[in-house]
């Protein structure tokens, strides 16, 4: 650092630091790469977030086409950049705040992981990418427990990049070996209670997320668990993490029991009012009392403007809670994730039997066939007390 006053730096990685300036409440990042120095505000007052953001910033530098050397026109990095520029011109923001450009860029560069296409294909000529290289990439993603559907997303973008260059993909592979999409981990009553208790026990505590990242368990994590279990919403950018205060109404049924109507986008240019359980009302009120929401505020992580980052923030916390309580898989051995709360909610409502299946399917935005194939067979694992506590 230069200047009259030497600022205290906190080293995160070699040549990667965070620091604070006296006149600012925000953390700043400092990088020294290829003999050059870079500084910028990380726009956060949270040290753990700053540590994560500065590592992501460095990753962006290392993978960005803007900092790459001059490359042949068919180098993957160059073609990927051309494809993204094409998307950027026609992409429009969606309700979640993310565009197709941003979604595809995250698949290509994956700043928070090494799954991205750029990490595998780098400067390889796209015309030379064949079955052997693609199968090698698939094998790596399988080892990291990605689902077949998620792996297919990566390969689809790879094909789009090649087609955008008016070339024909030189590979034809079948995605196998990943986690099966029909393996839906969910929580029974005992495990649900363990998760809730852990969220409350760990509030404000710091845990190691990885060798370079720590995370503090947010007060709002417990409310998110209750909210998702009470709404059957997907914990995605488009659904849960795009909800604002103005999208929620509190109503009462004929018995005087309160419930929420949550307005979410389910299909292109189509929104739906989702009816919640009474439990979700308490979770929402807790959030509102804590944050004093304004109409346009997001109800989950309202301080994080980037909704992809907000989603990842809660995913990371939930993963840590499961890890600390040795609950990374359910009682059938299926992997538990934030998505498991939606699966728990659907299975629980099917178990209760008080709402017609067609209505459950409509509220959950799924099909009767999906319920019959993947949720109904699990109802025997749901404790009746659990269903009685949460059903509509």
Least confident of 89-93, 222-226, 245-249, 367-371: 89-93
Q: Looking at residue 286, what is its pLDDT?
A: 96
| Cα 18 off chain centre by | 25
Q: Looking at residue 63, what is its pLDDT?
A: 56
Predicted confidence band of residue 391 (pLDDT cuts 50, 70, 90): very low
Q: Matching CATH topology for 66-164 and 189-390?
A: no
Average pLDDT over residues 120-149: 86
Share of the chain above pLDDT 70, in %: 84
Task: Give yes or no for residue 182 having a pLDDT over 60.
Answer: no
Q: Which CATH superfamily groups domain 189-390?
A: Intergrase catalytic core (1.10.443.10)
205 within 8 A of 216, measured Cβ to Cβ: yes
Q: Looking at residue 205, what is its pLDDT?
A: 95
Q: How many helices (H) and strands (E) does the chain have?
A: 14, 9
- The more confidently predicted of residues 384 and 14 is 14
Distance CA 231, CA 291 (A): 21
Q: Looking at residue 64, what is its pLDDT?
A: 58
Structure tokens belonging to residue 97 = 């705040």
Average pLDDT over residues 294-322: 93
Q: Looking at residue 5, what is its pLDDT?
A: 53
Predicted confidence band of residue 310 (pLDDT cuts 50, 70, 90): very high
- The more confidently predicted of residues 183 and 149 is 149
330 within 8 A of 187, measured Cβ to Cβ: yes
Distance in angstroms between the alpha carbons of the first and the last residue of the chain: 59
Listed by start position, the domains of the chain span 9-63, 66-164, 189-390
Distance CA 82, CA 67 (A): 15
User: In sequence order, what E strands does the chain have?
Assistant: 9-13, 16-20, 27-33, 36-41, 206-208, 214-216, 248-252, 258-267, 270-275
Task: Give yes or no for residue 278 having a pLDDT over 90.
Answer: no
Distance CA 209, CA 390 (A): 32
| Cα 174 off chain centre by | 26
Average pLDDT over residues 95-104: 66
Q: Tell me which residue has tokens 């949720």.
A: 375
For the segment 323-374, what is each residue's pLDDT rounded down to a tens digit? 999 999 887 788 899 999 998 888 888 877 777 888 888 888 888 877 877 7
Predicted confidence band of residue 109 (pLDDT cuts 50, 70, 90): confident
66-164 classified as CATH 3.90.1170: no
389 within 8 A of 347, measured Cβ to Cβ: no
263 within 8 A of 273, measured Cβ to Cβ: yes
Task: Give yes or no for residue 160 having a pLDDT over 90.
Answer: yes
For the segment 286-303, what is each residue's pLDDT rounded down to a tens digit? 999 999 999 999 999 999
Task: Give yes or no for residue 71 having a pLDDT over 60.
Answer: no
Burial of 199 (0-12, 13-18, 19+ CB in 10 A): buried
């Amino acid at each position: 650092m230069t200047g009259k006053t030497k600022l205290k730096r906190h080293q995160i990685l070699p040549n990667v630091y965070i620091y604070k300036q006296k006149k600012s409440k925000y953390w700043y990042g400092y990088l020294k790469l290829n003999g050059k120095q870079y500084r910028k505000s990380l726009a956060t007052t949270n040290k753990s977030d700053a540590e994560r953001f500065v590592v992501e910033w460095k990753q962006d530098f290392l993978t960005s086409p803007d900092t790459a050397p001059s490359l042949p026109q068919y180098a993957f990095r160059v073609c990927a950049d051309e494809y993204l520029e094409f998307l950027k011109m026609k992409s429009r923001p969606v309700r979640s705040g993310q565009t197709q450009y941003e979604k595809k860029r995250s698949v290509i560069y994956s700043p928070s992981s090494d799954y991205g296409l750029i990490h595998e294909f780098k400067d390889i000529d796209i015309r030379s990418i064949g079955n052997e290289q693609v199968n090698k990439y698939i094998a790596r993603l399988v080892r990291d427990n990605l689902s077949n559907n998620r792996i297919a997303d990566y390969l689809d973008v790879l094909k789009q990049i090649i087609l955008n260059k008016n070339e024909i993909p030189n590979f034809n592979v079948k995605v196998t070996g990943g986690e099966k999409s029909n393996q839906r981990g969910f929580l029974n009553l005992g495990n649900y209670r363990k998760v809730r208790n852990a969220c409350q026990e760990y509030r404000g505590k710091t845990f190691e997320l990885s060798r370079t990242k720590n995370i503090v368990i947010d007060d709002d994590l417990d409310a998110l668990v209750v909210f998702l279990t009470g709404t059957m919403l997907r914990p995605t950018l488009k659904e849960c993490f795009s909800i604002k205060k103005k999208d929620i109404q509190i109503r009462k049924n004929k018995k005087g029991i309160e419930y929420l109507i949550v307005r979410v986008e389910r299909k292109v240019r189509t929104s739906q009012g989702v009816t919640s359980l009474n439990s979700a009302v308490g979770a929402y009120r807790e959030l509102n009392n804590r944050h004093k929401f304004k109409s346009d505020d997001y109800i989950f992580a309202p301080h994080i403007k980037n909704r992809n980052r907000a989603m990842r923030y809660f995913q990371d916390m939930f993963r840590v809670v499961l890890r600390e309580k040795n609950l990374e898989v359910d009682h059938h051995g299926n992997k538990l994730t934030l998505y498991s709360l939606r699966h728990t909610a659907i299975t629980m409502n099917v178990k209760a039997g008080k709402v017609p299946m067609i209505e459950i399917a409509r509220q959950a935005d799924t099909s009767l066939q999906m319920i019959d194939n993947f949720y109904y067979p699990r109802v025997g694992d749901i404790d009746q007390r659990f269903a009685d506590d949460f059903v509509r």
